[in-house]
Each structure stands twice: as structure tokens, then as C-alpha cells.
Amino acid sequence: MNLPVALVEALRQQARDAARNAYAPYSRFAVGAAVLTDKGEIYSGANIENASFGLSICAERNAIFHAVARGARKIVAVAVYTKTPQATTPCGACRQVLAEFGRDALVIC
């Protein structure tokens, strides 16, 4: 899928902005994500950790669930932001959720 450059940049910026709201006191690894729905709506999320690590949520799933909670059912793109110089791709759990709502979604890292 090809998206207009301006839309890709908007997704990246929303992911960057979302990372500022990450709650990552244990890993110190803030992540932000933004998803684009088939209706052109953008939803964002940040990773939120918990002392019981299994109860933590990744930014990508947070953004997807944010979209789904507002009625979206089809994700066409997801942007992921971290401060690392290398791209950080979605984990397996996030990819599984993405497969449910956006099997062919463009992943922007």
C-alpha cells in the first residue's frame, strides 16, 4: 500500500507524540504508535508497563484497541516510534492483533 508522504509523516508525528505519554519505569523504553483506519482516522497509543510485566501493554496494541473501542474494524497502517537509531518492529503479540484488524497493514518503523 502506498500512502501519501504527508499522511506517513502525520502518522510518524502522532506516534512520536504518543511516546511522550509512555509509562515505562521498568524498561525505560518508551514507545509510541499511531494507526490509520480505512476511514482515514488516526488513533495513537503508548506502551504502559506494570510491575506485573504480563499486564503491560505495547504501544501498537494500545493504539489498535483505542481505534477498535471507537468503532474501527480495519487498520490500514501503523507507525511505531522509539528513540533508538534502529527501527523497532512490532512484537509477536502486536503482530497477532494486527493480523486480526489489519492483515495487510503497512508497518512504518
Q: What is the CATH number of the domain that holds 20?
A: 3.40.140.10
Helix H or strand E encompassing 46? strand 42-46
Catalytic residue among 9, 41, 49, 60: 60
Q: Which residues contact 10 (CB under 8 A, 6 or more apart)?
A: 42
Beta strands 42-46 and 32-37: pairing type?
antiparallel
pTM value surpassing 0.85: yes
Residue 41 bears catalytic tag = no
pLDDT tens digits, the chain, 109 residues: what are they?
789 999 999 999 999 999 999 999 999 999 999 999 999 999 999 999 999 999 999 999 999 999 999 999 999 999 999 999 999 999 999 999 999 999 999 999 9
Region for 72 from its dihedrals, namely left if φ exceeds 0, alpha if ψ lies in -120 to 50, beta otherwise: beta
In this structure, are residues 91 and 109 in contact, taking their beta carbons and an 8 Å threshold?
no
Q: Which domain holds residue 104?
A: 5-108
**Number of domain units in the chain:** 1
CA-CA distance, 92 to 60, in Å (whole number)? 11
CA angle 76, 47, 74 (to 5 degrees): 15
CA distance 64 to 67: 5
